[in-house]
Amino acid sequence: MTSEPTPGEAPEVPQAGPPTDTSADIETAAEAPSSAAEAAGSDATTAETAADTADASAAVAAEAAPPQSPPVPTRPWARRTFVLRTLGAIGAGLAAVVAIPVAGLASAPASKSPLRWSLLAGSVAPTPRSTGFVNLGPLTNFPVGGAPTLLPVTVPVEIGGVAQDAQIAVYVARPHDQSVVILDIHCTHMGCPVGWSVGAKRFLCPCHGGAFTADGHQESGPPPRPLDRYQAIIANQEVWMGPLIEGA
């Protein structure tokens, strides 16, 4: 009983191709009576099935009605709705079975990285994350209280599941004799690379005018927090750089 036409659609069949159209359409029109006959046959079967399956009132109504306006038997419609809804449910289920793993795969890196569920989300440095400690050389390389040193550093990272070395850049400042500050180069507003202005003695951001002091504290403009820092250790008068301390 899955093959419709249903009684309601049957009268429309002859109208499908107006005979004023192309030859192809005329053929369609010529076929129409046979489709109508099929529809009528199907109609009869419908009525029989309905009678067989004990919906007596519908069957009686179908027999009593004049052939031009067949009544709408309730039972096949209920079945039709049921079948269509079941198909919809199966389709939705199949879609979910395929789509959920794909969505999970796409968001796998996001569920792995450290998340801050804060109302005021901040920028995140785009630098590949160093996974170990790196020697930046003797402490005496960095002048006390002077301009921060822009230093290219090769650090161990993991990109795309592959452990490898990457070159990143950091600023190293030495505000006091026995302290160093290792700064990420990205403005904490939107991530543009801050430059040390020799004249202004400040880090200036070329995007929206943010300014930071030599040890990375935000001074003016839109940046919401100090420049991100790397773990810094002084051992035997040598400077070691650890992982990035994720933005506060």
The contact set with another protein (CB under 8 A) reads: 21-25, 28, 106-107, 109-129, 150, 152, 157, 159-160, 167-169, 185-186, 189-202, 204-209, 211, 219-222, 224, 246
Closest separation in Å from C-beta 196 to another protein? 8
Q: 207: how many CB neighbours lie within 10 A of its CB?
A: 14
Q: Which helix (H) or strand (E) holds 233?
A: strand 229-235
* Amino acid at residue number 94: L
Closest to another protein by CB, 51 vs 124, is 124
Cβ–Cβ < 8 Å for 245, 228: yes
DSSP secondary structure string for all residues of 30-44: HHHHHHHHHHHHHHH
Closest to another protein by CB, 59 vs 136, is 136
Cα(97)–Cα(105) distance, integer angstroms: 13
DSSP bridge pairs for 234 = 239
Closest to another protein by CB, 59 vs 205, is 205
Cα(173)–Cα(217) distance, integer angstroms: 12
Closest to another protein by CB, 139 vs 211, is 211
Closest separation in Å from C-beta 4 to another protein? 22
Cα(201)–Cα(32) distance, integer angstroms: 89
Closest to another protein by CB, 67 vs 199, is 199
Closest to another protein by CB, 58 vs 204, is 204
Q: What are phi and psi of 212, to 5 degrees?
A: -130, 150
Closest separation in Å from C-beta 111 to another protein? 8
Closest to another protein by CB, 66 vs 112, is 112
In order of 2, 43, 76, 84, 235, the CA distances from 81 in angstroms are: 11, 18, 9, 5, 77
